[in-house]
Structure 1
Amino acid sequence: MLSHLHVITEILMMSFALGMDSLSLSIGVGLSDIRRRTAVQLCLTIGVFHVVFTFMGLMFGNMIGQYLGAVAHWFGVLLLFGLGVHMLYTSLRKDEEKPASVATAIAMLLFSATVSLDALSVGFSLGLRSATYGVVSAISFGFVSMFMCGIGLLVGKKFGQSIGKYGEILGAFVLISCGFMFLF
């Protein structure tokens, strides 16, 4: 019984650690006055990507982990910079109708993939455990990341409503600064 409790605690701790990216980056996206439907789609997409990337990591193992780790790092940095700059550009435009930074399907998929890349590397290390442990971990990663994304979007929306256009600009700088943090 104590062994099972230890395993559950271990999986939940990893899930929350992986979900922190979802939480922090979603706050920046939530500042851009994202629509409810888009928010739900983003949460679901991030959850699915966490599960899929963990399974990919389990399947491919450590033999390609070193190569993908370097590529994923630079891809994530460039994508966060790009989304932040795009969000800043759209918030400074004079048009009333401004798209959110993750309003298009491609932007949402790229954002979700970037947020979920750390699940891929964790999946590599989970391959050393049992298959059941890996499956339960992957599902837990998906649900917790989806939940934390939703919390981040709500927090961002609350701040965004109170500070308006400046909230969108702040959200853009949050994404750009997260890109800088990933860089180092």
Structure 2
Amino acid sequence: MNHLQAITEILLMSFALGMDALSLSIGIGLGKIDRKTALQLCFSIGMFHVILTFAGLVFGNLVGYYLGALAQWFGALLLMGLGAHMLYSSLFGKEEAVKPIGNLFAMTLFSASVSLDALSVGFSLGLRSTAYGVVSALSFGCISMVLCAIGLFIGKRFSRSVGRYGEILGAIVLVGCGIKFLL
């Protein structure tokens, strides 16, 4: 495989993995999120993509076989719970900002669930060279950070025009993505 082909393959995988971050971040952006939290979320998602890819490289197919279904269920339930919380806060909470990623624990869980697919990709990257795996992991992290930022930006812009209905729509998007993960 030549270098251009390898770079193209890595970039395509990076964008494919980052699309979850993009779509879910649009849902988060529809709620109220400040700039500092948005930057922390982008960084957290990028770091989890790198860390979980490396974990996949290290632990290989055995762990992936046993944790694959569990990770999918965990991610789905987490997204549905986050969406349900956001929906409840939008409908029954005070008029103040709904913060779906309001604390470090929620942000960490959200980032890990968005990045779980990087773990399984890391398992398959273990069959390639170490350099290929390292470059892939770093690319996954950078691209997912950028796509998360784009998603938050799109969500925030859309939220301004639809207000509270945007928060409800964002919550429904998160619950829907969780259900999709289960199916």
TM-score (norm 1): 0.97
Question: Which position in structure 2 is the counterpart of 1:175?
Answer: 174
C-alpha distance in 1 between matches for 2:43 and 2:57: 21
Question: Which position in structure 2 is the counterpart of 1:106?
Answer: 105
The amino acid that maps onto 1:125 is: S
Whether contact under 8 Å (2:24, 2:151) holds in the other structure is yes
The amino acid that maps onto 1:10 is: E
Structure 1, gaps ≥5 residues long: none
C-alpha distance in 2 between matches for 1:94 and 1:56: 39
- Secondary structure of 1:106 counterpart: helix
The amino acid that maps onto 2:75 is: G
Question: Which position in structure 2 is the counterpart of 1:71?
Answer: 70
Alpha-carbon deviation of 1:183?
1.1
Kindly report the root-mean-square deviation, in angstroms, between the aligned alpha carbons of the 2 structures. Answer: 1.0
C-alpha distance in 2 between matches for 1:40 and 1:75: 25
- Secondary structure of 2:86 counterpart: helix
Instruction: Report Cα offsets for 1:107-132 as digits up to 9, x if no partner.
Output: 00000000000000000000000100
Runs of 4+ in structure 1 deviating by more than 4 angstroms, as ranges, are none
Question: Which position in structure 1 is the counterpart of 2:28?
Answer: 29
After TM superposition, the structure 1 = structure 2 runs for residues 4-43 of structure 1, keeping only pairs within 5 Å, are: 4-43=3-42
Q: Which moved more, 1:128-137 or 1:92-101?
A: 92-101
Question: Which position in structure 2 is the counterpart of 1:127?
Answer: 126
- Secondary structure of 2:2 counterpart: helix
1:141 matched to 2:145? The reply is no
C-alpha distance in 2 between matches for 1:65 and 1:134: 16
Aligned length: 183
TM-score (norm 2): 0.98
Question: Which position in structure 2 is the counterpart of 1:162?
Answer: 161
C-alpha distance in 2 between matches for 1:69 and 1:7: 26
Alpha-carbon deviation of 1:63?
1.3
The amino acid that maps onto 1:79 is: L
Alpha-carbon deviation of 1:92?
1.2
The amino acid that maps onto 1:56 is: A
Whether contact under 8 Å (1:160, 1:167) holds in the other structure is yes
